[in-house]
Structure 1
Amino acid sequence: MKVLVFDPGYGDVKCALVDTVSGEEPRLFKFPTLVARARGGLDFGEGSGEIFWAGEKWLVGEEAARAGRVVSTTTDGFLERYLPLLLVRALLESGDKEGVDEVVIAVSLHDWPRREVFERAAGRLMVNDRSYSHRVRLIPQGYGIWLETLSPWDGIVVDIGFRTVDVLVFVDGKPDGRRSFGVAGMGVVDFISEAAKILSAKARVEFSPGEVAHFLQEGNPVFRRFGVEEELKSRAGEWSARLWTSLIAKEDFSRAMALLGRVVIAGGGARFFVKPDEETAVDMQVLDEEPEFANVRGFALRLLEGGGEEE
């Protein structure tokens, strides 16, 4: 059985392609959550990368970043609107012309109450005059991180995304819906937006937060070129402090942290998160090895262990 574990964030789309029959290691890949309408240009035979969807031609991921004029990812409803386009881009990159048997979608806890919208949008797709059909399974954001780092023990997973922060609390080896929560507007976009303003002012070119997030993750030398590296480090520390202060101010989080004693910081935002200076009575782990893949990686590996099944 072939499964695509699909984590559509507001900064990047993270994917793991699993073949439970061959048992090979999952193939991990990602692309920026950037979409842009394709514009006309000179044809040099290099391939346009255009995707025909909803009556228009689109560019997705790196192609959209190069083209510019991307659709803002920070508006409400972005993922619901463009999920089919992002999913097809992932299926095309998987390289499997026959598609997959199942798509597992990680849904932010902020979006979890309306998760049926994601399920409907992903179930049957018509793109590039081709139909894609597969089973759809939804998992709460952070579940794969727990499988990779804490399972079977209890603890707290803090998944820092682009727009959202998802806090998934595990008690007795299961997610506790009463204590878990997702918050929009607390993600790494706070820091990335500041970085975009700083870079845009120095370069005298308007860069969107989505583009700057892509530049930061790929180690683009544009920050060094315009001399803003040290200022961005300082802003990352300030953002981390604000985020941690906001989390510990929430009674459910502080109580769970005191009782369980373990916190894992992961997600794409973990790349920029700076541990608090003050001593804490908990074991805090900040993932530093491709933390943005932790969610899909953990779930994909468990699928392999279970022959395609994971409850």
Structure 2
Amino acid sequence: MTKILAVEIGFGDVKVVGDGIKFKFPTVIAYSGNGVLRGWNEEEKSYSFSGRKYLVGNSALSHPEMFSSRDPVYLFEFAPLFLYKAFELAGYRPDRVALGLAVGYYSKKDSLSRKILSFEVNGERVEIPEPVVFPQAVGIWFDWADKNPDKVYGNYMVLDIGFNTVDVVFIKGGKVYREGSWMLEGEGTIKIVNHLADVIQQKVGVGLIPHTAKTLLERKSLMVYGKERNLERAIAKLSLDYTERLFSILTQRFGEKFRDLDRVIVGGGGAYYVKDSIPKKLKNLVKVIEEPEFSNARGFYKALKEKEESNETYNHNTQQAVRRDYKETETES
């Protein structure tokens, strides 16, 4: 049976879904240093890639030389490294890989595919034949449609609220409708993260980089000189402001289309911060999908798995037909 893995490399986290597998890790790396305690923490495994050694994911978060970027070039450049880490944590090397790209970057999908077809990490050559790259937000639709097969033939807006981007895709009659697809760059939860960093700077005089502030956003607390400070009230206020602004932008652009929709399906990690602040007139229209941060990866996995199973069934039936024809030919002889 074909082994499949969906790896959504977002600006905030890498989300991974496979057969019985679901996990994520931060989309951050750090240069692996030569400090006096080098090798003390075995979890801080380094990875050799393109002539340098890096820490990847959680082990890089607190490293002084940690870095990330909201430039898609960064995702493309280090995609092989994030994939290698995903394979390692998943515990197997997949035969087929599904990935995603934000709607506004989707025209560059071939560049991403070429980048990961063949690469080397830790002296190990990795080959990924025929990777499949889906548009983000479309994965959310696949995920929702799989759970609601009786409701797919309607009109929907799919809203993918990521760390950096917000992607909008429309569905008509069960199919992705290209017209109206849109991406808001820099309008994801990075807005909340940056405002939270400003609040913390003003209140306790601690400066934070975005991914550190993102960790506090998820934890909803901050340790200062051994004392824990609760951030829930500040986050609730920032989430409300963010939601009002986001839906104001969407209403201005798609106001008339909202009236004709059966549902607005919301996924992506940012869905957690808008679900309790949906504008009153849209409350009955908006549906936040379960575990929204994994919805794209789940959809990519389901779509590729269905395609592979269909191919395997076709090949099996073809082989049976060939054998049957061969036996009939032998009998006639």
TM-score by length of 1: 0.87
Q: Give me the CA root mean square deviation.
A: 2.3
1:48–1:72 distance in 2 versus 1, CA, 3 Å? closer
Deviation track 1:13-50 (CA, whole Å, cap 9, x = no partner) reads: 101123xxxxxxx3111001111111122132634311
Q: What's 2:94 paired with?
A: 100
Residue 257 of structure 1 corresponds to 258
Trace 1:260-275 onto structure 2 (pairs within 5 A). Answer: 260-273=261-274, 274-275=276-277
Q: Secondary structure at the match of 2:97?
A: strand
Which residue in 2 is equivalent to 1:23?
A: none
Match of 1:246 among 245, 249, 253: 249
1:49 aligned counterpart, secondary structure? coil
Match of 2:85 among 84, 89, 103: 89
Partner of 1:277: 279
What is the Cα deviation at residue 200 of structure 1? 4.1
Return the match for 1:127 from 109, 121, 131: 121
Alignment partner, residue 236 of structure 2? 233
Residue type at the aligned position of 2:5: L
Distance 2:302 2:219 in 1: 25
Query: Distance between the aligned counterparts of 2:51 and 2:64, measured in 1?
Result: 21
Change (3 A) 1:301 1:221: farther
| Aligned pairs for 1:67-82 within 5 A | 67-75=63-71, 77-82=73-78
Matched, 1:191 2:192: yes
The letter for the 2-side match of 1:262 is R
Higher helix share: 2
- Distance change >3 Å, CA 173–CA 222, structure 1 → 2: farther
Partner of 2:330: none
Change (3 A) 1:39 1:161: same
Q: 1:176 Cα deviation (Å)?
A: 0.9
Residue 161 of structure 2 contacts residue 167 of structure 2 at CA under 8 Å; is this kept in 1? yes
Moved more, 57-66 or 201-210: 201-210
Contact 1:32–1:214, Cα closer than 8 Å, also in 2: no
- CA distance, structure 2, for counterparts of residue 11 and residue 132 of structure 1: 25
Measured against aligned partners, the alpha-carbon deviations of 1:113-144 in whole angstroms (never above 9, x if no partner) come to: 22212111121121110011122011111122
Residue 115 of structure 2 is aligned to residue 113 of structure 1: no
CA contact (8 A) 1:38 1:57 kept: yes
Say which SS state the counterpart of residue 52 (structure 1) adopts.
Answer: strand
Structure 1 pair 89/202, CA: closer, same or farther in 2 (3 Å)? farther
Structure 2 residue matching 1:243: 3-state secondary structure: helix
What 5-or-longer segments of structure 2 have no aligned partner?
312-333
Q: Give the match's secondary structure for 2:178.
A: coil
Q: Which has the larger radius of gyration?
A: 2
Q: What is the SS of the residue equivalent to 1:89?
A: helix
SS in 2 for 1:44: coil
Among 24, 31, 48, the alignment partner of 1:30 is 24
Structure 1 distance, partners of 2:202, 2:281, is 37
Give the Cα–Cα distance (whole angstroms) in 1 for the partners of residues 5 and 248 of structure 2: 36
User: Residues of 2 paired with 1:6 and 1:291: CA distance?
Assistant: 15
Aligned-pair identity in percent equals: 28
8 Å Cα contact 1:199-1:226 kept in structure 2:
no
Which letter does structure 2 place at the counterpart of 1:54? S
Q: Secondary structure at the match of 2:282?
A: coil
Partner of 1:148: 143
Structure 1 CA distance for aligned equivalents of residues 272 and 223 of structure 2: 18
Of stretches 4-13 and 219-228 in structure 1, the one that deviates more from structure 2 is 219-228
Q: Name which structure has the greater RCO, CA cutoff 8 Å, separation 6+.
A: 1
3-state SS of 2:69 partner: coil
CA contact (8 A) 2:244 2:279 kept: no
Residues 140 and 76 (structure 1 numbering): CA distance in 2 closer, same or farther, change over 3 Å?
closer
Return the alpha-carbon distance in structure 1 between the equivalents of residues 186 and 174 of structure 2. Answer: 29
On the 8 A contact 2:268/2:293 being kept in 1, the answer is: yes
- State yes or no: 1:181 paired with 2:182: yes
